[in-house]
């Protein structure tokens, strides 16, 4: 009898073992952020108003028309006087960069931030199992990842990924690579290094679509320590819940809106096309369609569906026909009774998200996301303040925004942080993090020296006050003062 019971029990025990094994495997596939370290360059690399004026003045290919364009762009960019530039700019050699300038700019960041991150967490470089480096506009031989491995003497069997050309959304691509490695490898530590090299990429021509990048991009970077070790979960800061990547590279108009290219005079620069906002909106909407069901509660999805159906059925198409006594734009919706414009319903992302970590691509990017998601000034504050203090630091900008939230002591256990980034290609990547423990701002948070000054009473920079006289100048008589 006992043998019969045992024989019947074996399949059940095996079934229980399989379920337990799969449960344990899934637990080991989770992706956590243990710590991160944003880079803060030295004060001698700050771009104040006076120096920016000198920099523009010594760019010989610019004239009054370009000066007026730059003034308007800088004043409306939302960037302050505390941002940083590479040393080559202060040496006056931006027109003649060398490969050594780009490498030295990156190494200054690598050796500062990666070193701080490892020391603070008591981790030896030999313990790192995965290294992912993304710097879009600098490719060297040996690779930048090899330079990090050489400097820190990492292991011979370390898994290495070196990304170039991925644009401002590259840090979430790097996180996605780590997440996929963690799915097949247990008990691993990974470091993501994200930055951009500006030294070889200053544009010295007069093409407006390429001048704009000089106004927006600034020096910065971040090193991020991730793990799937179960023993380190309680020490972690964030847990990755989901990540979605959208790529519109197959669309010619999206592909061509952000390009590193040469102008008519053969000067290398970064072209930002007029259709960039349209391409970004398309990628953003497509990305939201995929990630919304993953991060929002069912009640909000059902509410939005009901409201959307009601809006579609009650909106009269007759209002746009000829003979209507009211002028209505093609994109407007009006009710049949009052003929007043009716906005389409908006899904409320705040039902599933507590904090919004938005890429600081520019003031228009932040404001556009705010309008599309119906966000409050409080929701947009971290991105706006990061843009003002550090500028657009490309792929690393998300982590400066996250650092602001942490320094303001906004991040509490269980909170959900929604990251949104855009990049050339054209790409939109987003992800949701869950805060694992209360975060009160670390000792080496990049915002510690400035957080009490933010938000300031006004984000208006002094460029208009100092250089506003340019707007009244006549091109036929204008001469730049020495």
Active site residues: 168, 247, 355, 359, 388, 392
Q: Let me know: does 458 contact 412? Beta carbons within 8 Å.
A: no
- Cα separation, 254 vs 424, in Å, equals 8
Structure tokens given for 409: 């002591």
Neighbours of 363 (CB within 10 A): 18
Identify the CA nearest to 191 among candidates 124, 241, 244, 138: 124
Q: Let me know: does 166 contact 75? Beta carbons within 8 Å.
A: no
- Cα separation, 283 vs 456, in Å, equals 33
- Cα separation, 141 vs 387, in Å, equals 33
Would you put residue 301 in left (φ > 0), alpha (ψ -120 to 50) or beta? alpha
Neighbours of 40 (CB within 10 A): 24
Identify the CA nearest to 356 among candidates 311, 405, 292: 405
- Cα separation, 189 vs 215, in Å, equals 37
Q: Residue 163 phi/psi, 5° resolution?
A: -105, 135
Q: Let me know: does 419 contact 175? Beta carbons within 8 Å.
A: no
DSSP three-state, residue 177: helix
DSSP three-state, residue 245: strand
- Give 435-464 as a DSSP string: E-S-----TT-TTTTTGGG-S-S----THH
Q: Let me know: does 52 contact 464? Beta carbons within 8 Å.
A: no
CA dihedral 112, 113, 118, 124 (to 10 degrees): -50
Identify the CA nearest to 208 among candidates 291, 269, 134, 123: 269
Q: Residue 47 phi/psi, 5° resolution?
A: -100, 90
Structure tokens given for 107: 């190494």
Neighbours of 344 (CB within 10 A): 12
């Amino acid at each position: 009898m006992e043998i019969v019971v045992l024989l019947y029990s074996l399949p059940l025990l095996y079934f229980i073992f399989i379920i337990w094994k799969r449960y344990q495997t899934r637990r080991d596939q989770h992706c956590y952020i243990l710590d991160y370290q944003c880079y803060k360059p030295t004060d001698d690399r700050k771009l104040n108003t006076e120096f920016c004026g000198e920099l523009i003045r010594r760019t010989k290919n610019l004239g009054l028309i370009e000066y007026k364009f730059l003034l308007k762009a800088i004043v409306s960019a939302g960037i302050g006087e505390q941002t940083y530039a590479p040393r080559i700019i202060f040496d006056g050699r931006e027109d003649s960069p060398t490969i050594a300038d780009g490498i030295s700019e990156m190494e200054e960041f690598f050796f500062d931030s990666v070193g701080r991150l490892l020391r603070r967490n008591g981790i030896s470089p030999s313990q790192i199992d995965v290294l992912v480096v993304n710097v879009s506009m600098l490719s060297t031989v040996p690779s930048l990842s090899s330079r990090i491995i050489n400097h820190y003497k990492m292991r011979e069997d370390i898994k290495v990924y070196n990304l170039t050309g991925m644009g401002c959304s590259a840090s979430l691509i790097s996180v996605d690579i780590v997440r996929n490695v963690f799915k097949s490898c247990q008990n691993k530590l990974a470091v993501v290094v994200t930055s951009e090299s500006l030294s070889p990429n200053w544009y010295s021509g007069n093409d407006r679509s390429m001048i704009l990048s000089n106004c927006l991009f600034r020096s910065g970077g971040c090193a991020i320590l991730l793990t799937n070790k179960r023993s380190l979960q309680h020490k972690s800061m964030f847990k990755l819940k989901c990540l979605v990547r959208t790529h519109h590279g197959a669309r010619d108009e999206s592909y061509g809106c952000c390009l590193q290219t040469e102008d008519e005079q053969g000067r290398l620069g970064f072209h930002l096309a007029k259709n960039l906002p349209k391409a970004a909106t398309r990628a953003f909407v497509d990305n939201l369609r995929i990630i919304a069901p993953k991060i929002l509660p069912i009640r909000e999805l059902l509410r939005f569906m009901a409201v959307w159906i009601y809006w579609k059925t009650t909106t009269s198409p007759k209002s746009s026909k000829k003979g209507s006594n009211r002028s209505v734009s093609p994109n407007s919706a009006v009710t049949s009774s009052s003929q007043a414009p009716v906005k389409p319903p908006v899904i409320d992302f705040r039902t599933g998200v507590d904090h919004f970590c938005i890429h600081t691509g520019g003031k228009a990017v932040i404001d556009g996301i705010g309008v599309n998601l119906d966000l409050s000034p409080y929701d947009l504050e971290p991105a706006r303040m990061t843009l003002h203090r550090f500028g657009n630091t490309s792929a690393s900008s998300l982590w400066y925004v996250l650092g602001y939230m942490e320094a303001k002591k906004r991040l509490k256990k269980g909170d959900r942080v929604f990251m949104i980034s855009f990049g050339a290609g054209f790409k939109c990547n987003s992800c949701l993090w869950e805060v694992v423990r209360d975060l009160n701002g670390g000792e080496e948070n990049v915002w510690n020296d400035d957080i009490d000054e933010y938000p300031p009473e006004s984000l208006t920079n002094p460029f208009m006050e100092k250089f506003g006289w340019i707007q009244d100048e006549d091109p036929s008589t204008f001469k730049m003062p020495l």
